């Protein structure tokens, strides 16, 4: 198993450009999510999905879109990048959702460092 | 809304000594789950330890243990016999049942273990 794979590892964008951060997992996990990590802010939830075709917003969804057409993939789209979106982005997955998530801890990818100039 | 507070932005400890990282949280839920994650310089997020709120016994994983005080809404992490490899950011996180697995993280404590 490769676990949770994020690509790219690093990316530099200009303001206004668009891009997609890729996330794939090969563990047949139901739950997938995107967090952003900023200095002094911890990790904050952007969007999440509890299964193919189902997505929902987290704490900081503005400026980001997601879709979940397959169980394996959960891409994060930036439609028009802004300097405020400079951050490290983590994708995470777990086998189950809800109460049983406790027994299925999050598996994190290695992150994507995004810089928007 | 739930919040998680880590009041120590940075801490340091000598190798082989014991250090305690603080975490408090605010919630009106009676049952919930608490976690400590470690993030070394490699940026990888690693689950260290977890606790269910309805379990009074404090969780322990090798050199890592927690002091869970439900009434005080406190969840501190104790690292015994600190090792150089423990140098990392440590995040406290909260999850309530029915939240689909979403975590609320504190801002983190940067721990440096000195030789």
pLDDT, tens digit (0-9, with 9 covering 90-100), for A35-88: 999 988 899 999 999 999 999 999 999 999 999 999 999 999 999 999 999 999
Region for B42 from its dihedrals, namely left if φ exceeds 0, alpha if ψ lies in -120 to 50, beta otherwise: alpha
B32-75: per-residue pLDDT in tens?
Answer: 999 999 999 999 999 999 999 988 899 999 999 999 999 999 99
The verdict on a CB contact (< 8 Å) between B103 and A43 is: yes
Which residues from chain A sit within 8 angstroms of residue B52, using beta carbons? 102
* Tens of pLDDT, residues B84-98: 999 999 999 999 877
Give residue-wise pLDDT tens across range A3-21. Answer: 999 999 999 999 999 999 9
- A-B contacts at Cβ under 8 angstroms: 65
Tell me the C-alpha distance between B28 and B53, whole Å: 12
């Amino acid at each position: 198993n490769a676990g949770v794979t994020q690509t790219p590892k690093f990316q530099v964008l200009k303001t206004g450009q668009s891009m997609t951060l890729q996330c794939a997992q090969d563990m047949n996990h139901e739950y997938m999510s995107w967090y952003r990590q900023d200095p002094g802010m911890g990790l904050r939830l952007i969007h999440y999905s509890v299964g193919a075709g189902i997505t929902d917003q987290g704490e900081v969804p503005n400026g980001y879109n997601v879709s979940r057409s397959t169980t394996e993939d959960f891409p994060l789209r930036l439609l028009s990048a802004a300097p405020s979106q400079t951050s490290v982005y983590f994708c995470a997955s777990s086998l189950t959702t809800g109460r049983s998530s406790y027994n299925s801890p999050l598996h994190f990818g290695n992150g994507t460092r995004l810089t928007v100039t | 809304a739930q919040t998680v507070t880590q009041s120590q932005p940075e801490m340091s400890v000598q190798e082989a000594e014991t250090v305690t990282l603080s975490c408090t949280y605010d919630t009106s839920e009676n049952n919930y789950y608490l976690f400590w994650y470690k993030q070394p310089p490699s940026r990888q997020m690693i689950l260290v330890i977890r606790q269910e709120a309805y379990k009074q016994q404090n969780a322990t994983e090798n050199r890592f243990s927690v002091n869970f005080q439900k009434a005080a809404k406190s969840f501190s992490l104790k690292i015994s016999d600190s090792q150089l490899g423990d140098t990392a950011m440590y995040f406290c996180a909260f999850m309530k049942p029915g939240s689909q697995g979403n975590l609320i993280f504190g801002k983190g404590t940067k721990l440096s273990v000195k030789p």
